[in-house]
Amino acid sequence: MKPERARVLYTGAGGGIGRCAVPTLLRAGAAVMLVGRSEARLRAQAQELAQAHGAGRVAWHAADLLNDGALEPLASAAASFRANVVVHGAGVPSFGRFESLTARDLQHVVQTNLLAPMLLTQALLPHLRNLPHAQVMFIGSALGQLGLPGFSAYSASKFGLRGFAEALRRELADGPVRLQYLGPRSTHTPFNDAAVEAYNRATGTAMDDPQVVADALLRLLHDDGCAERFIGWPEKLAVRLNALVPHWLDGAFTRHRRSVPEQSISGSPSTLRIAP
């Protein structure tokens, strides 16, 4: 889709990637509805963006995506906005040895990263299927195709998200809605805290500026025939090999296994960091 025709509902708009991706979409000509939990932060962000890009192309809607009661009002707001693109950008981290994760940690990361986008997509489909053309874009992770030590719960949520996008893409193939998955590698945002950055240094894992992800998202919007795309080298090669012969890579992660701290770093409600 050409950006100037795009009316984008963007969840996690205030996150590290969202704060780069939303202005990138606006500069390209799109209109954007910001979605997040904090009404005050959304209002301030929308005002700043409206001053730079024009009030007519910026809207916002506060919603807690874990609250089922918030989905119908959000779907109604999206229809009023005439949204024809949905970017699922909200998410929470989870890092640490699996044994150190609590049941609450596991439930929270799966509910936020997987179940919430599934339910929101379901709520939006009646509107999207009535349009001539629509796109649903999931900002996932390379860890949705490549499981790493220390990211068991996070990988499970992103593997599930990618599987959902793939299955629904095939289910809706005869209609106007296109589903796409973008798999960034680690990024320099508050989502990846000091413990993850130390792990990345110890394992030689590269981190991208969030603008790299924003630019990739814009390219994916243009290329609506592309089902999924991963970012970074050697991650692109690794996800391909892992899809074909996953056991070949098992021995390649000794450094990663030894670099996982004993203490978990997870997206519990008290330390929630919303962004992919």
Cis-peptide into 73, omega within 30 deg:
no
CATH topology of domain 3-271: Rossmann fold (3.40.50)
Q: How far apart are CA 151 and CA 146, in angstroms?
A: 10
Q: For residue range 37-46, list pLDDT tens digits in order.
A: 999 999 999 9
pTM as predicted: 0.91
Token pair recorded at residue 22: 């939303």
Domain boundaries, the chain: 3-271
Q: For residue range 30-71, list pLDDT tens digits in order.
A: 999 999 999 999 999 999 999 999 989 999 999 999 999 999
Please report which confidence band the pLDDT of residue 235 belongs to, taking 50, 70 and 90 as the band edges: confident
CB-CB neighbours of 182 under 10 Å = 27
